[in-house]
Amino acid sequence: MDDNPQSTSEEQAIDSLITIAVEAWRFKRVFERLLAKADAGDTRRYQNQFDWFMRQVEGSLAKAGLKVVSVEGQAFDPGVAITPLNIEDFDESEELIIDQMLEPIIIGPEGSIKTGTATLRSADK
């Protein structure tokens, strides 16, 4: 156990930053679906504003040595830092693709800090 209050404070700050990053990433997905339904005249302005926001989030993460990673569309390997929600739906011999990321992977200076969550699909589809 670390008795250093500064260390605990830094850990809490990193945990908070990770939470904000994950929620911003989730919100981005929702916002993109909303923009797909919006009037074309408004879409570009809103997209630009949101892109600026995401650059600010990514910049803050980078200052803390963190990065948000999505592996959507890549081949699934048990070594990938995701928790697959539907792995039991497939045969062990099937080649799988990471279909949809529900939560991103957060990478720090020493590797994965937070495991992502995803659904899988067969590579044959």
pLDDT of residue 25: 92
pLDDT of residue 4: 64
Q: What is the dihedral of CA 68, 73, 79, 83, to 10 degrees?
A: 70
Residue boundaries of the structural domains of the chain: 5-122
Pick out the chain residues at pLDDT < 50.
Answer: 1
DSSP states along 15-55: HHHHHHHHHHHHHHHHHHHHHHHS-HHHHHHHHHHHHHHHH
pTM of the model: 0.80
pLDDT of residue 40: 82
